Structures are given as C-alpha cells and as structure tokens.
Structure 1
Amino acid sequence: MARKTLGLADHTPIPKGLRLPISGNAQKARVRLSKLHARIANIRQEGLHKLTSWLRRRFHRVLVKELKVGGMEKNR
C-alpha cells in the first residue's frame, strides 16, 4: 500500500529516511493515546485539588518552609 502511494514498483525497496504516510489505524491509535494521557492528567489534577481543598478546610493556616537539605545532610 505504501509503495503504491509513493509510486514505487513492487520489487523496489523503500529508501531509508523516507517518511511513509500514516495509516488510519495509526491515527486512531494516536488519538486514543492522547485522550488517555489527557484523562490521566485530569485525574492527577483532581486529586491534587481535592487534597489542597481538604487541607484548606481542615486547617486554618498552612505554612510552607523552604529547607536547605544540603545543610541538613552535613549535620548528620
């Protein structure tokens, strides 16, 4: 099939580096995979949102402190 679209004879090898047309099934697979990646990203984002919302409701104040891990390792 790819040979016919490129205009090559049946016995002619396909040159290296030549981009072949993408088949319909490959395009469908690409779309399915991108939808799956988007779904997983949404699930992760929702989990993070639920956690931060719960922390906000549970505690009045949340403090974030920057730790110098290199200094902590030296004190071991």
Structure 2
Amino acid sequence: MRENINRKEWITARPQNGFWAMLLKNENEYWALADPPVRLTLTEKVVKVGVFVDYEKGLVSFYDVESRSHIYSFT
C-alpha cells in the first residue's frame, strides 16, 4: 500500500495507485475499479455505502449499509 499520492498528476483510480473505489454509472451500473474493472450485479439501488478497512491484511470491503450486505472486497 502507498501512504501518499502525487496530487499534481493524472492518476487512474485503481488499487495499484492507492485507490480502492466503486463507480456508479448511468444511475444503475455499479463497478469496482479493480484492474481490470469488475461490473457488479446488485439487485437494489444502494443509497449508503459502508467501507471496512483492515490495513494489516490489505483488505478494503464495501457494503450496503441499509441491507447490511457485502458488495465487493479488494485484497
């Protein structure tokens, strides 16, 4: 894991560059910005996303707060 990011240059959001992120496209298309990106199949629209980070294990997990369901994990 990187501890800092150069904010003066263009960086693609992916784990190799220090970004663990999800993308919502067209109001109904969810993506995990892995390398390569992973399209997520979710049955309901997510209103609030929770994030769990385990720095020692190198794990970042996203979950739907309202339904308490797992969305995606980066390892």
Considering fraction of residues, name the structure with more strand: 2
Q: Larger C-alpha radius of gyration, 1 or 2?
A: 1
Bigger RCO (CA 8 Å, 6+ sep): 2
Give TM-score scaled by structure 2 length: 0.18
**TM-score normalised to structure 1 length:** 0.18
